[in-house]
Every structure is written in structure tokens, then in C-alpha cells.
């Protein structure tokens, strides 16, 4: 089960990288759209750290059993 959690953690990082690239590509043509991409990138990075903390907490509970 932890393998799936780890996979989705890195999926959030990949998504964040994609949004950051899109931010740089659209910055000059449409700044409002670039801000939205940047917000999604920040949210994806936050979700990475949140999921990582949650996975470690879950693993510690499994070890205690």
C-alpha cells in the first residue's frame, strides 16, 4: 500500500513541474493564466509534502501493530 502512496507523491511533483513550465511559457502572452498555473503548482507542491507526511504517519502506525 505504501508503494501506491509513494507513487502519488511523485506524481504531484511531476504535475507541479508541468505547471511551472506552463507558467513560464504563458507569462508574456497571458499573465492571468500564468498566475493560475503558478497557484496550481504551489498547491501540487503542498500536496506532495502533505501526502509524504501522511504516508510516514501511516507507516509508523503499521509498524506499531
CA distance linking residue 16 with residue 42, whole number of Å: 7
pLDDT digits (tens, 9 = 90+) for 9-51: 899 999 999 999 999 999 999 999 999 999 999 999 999 999 9
Angle between the N-to-C axes of helices 2-26 and 31-64, in degrees from 0 to 180, rounded to the nearest 10? 170
pLDDT digits (tens, 9 = 90+) for 46-60: 999 999 998 888 888
Cβ atoms of 45 and 12 within 8 Å: the answer is yes
pTM confidence score: 0.84
**Sequence-separated (6 or more) residues with CB below 8 Å from residue 42:** 16
Amino acid at each position: 500500500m505504501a508503494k501506491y502512496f509513494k507513487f502519488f507523491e511523485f506524481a504531484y511533483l511531476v504535475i507541479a513541474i508541468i505547471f511551472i513550465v506552463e507558467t513560464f511559457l504563458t507569462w508574456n502572452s497571458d499573465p492571468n493564466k500564468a498566475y493560475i498555473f503558478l497557484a496550481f503548482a504551489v498547491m501540487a507542491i503542498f500536496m506532495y509534502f502533505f501526502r509524504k507526511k501522511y504516508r510516514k504517519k501511516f507507516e509508523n502506525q503499521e509498524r506499531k501493530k
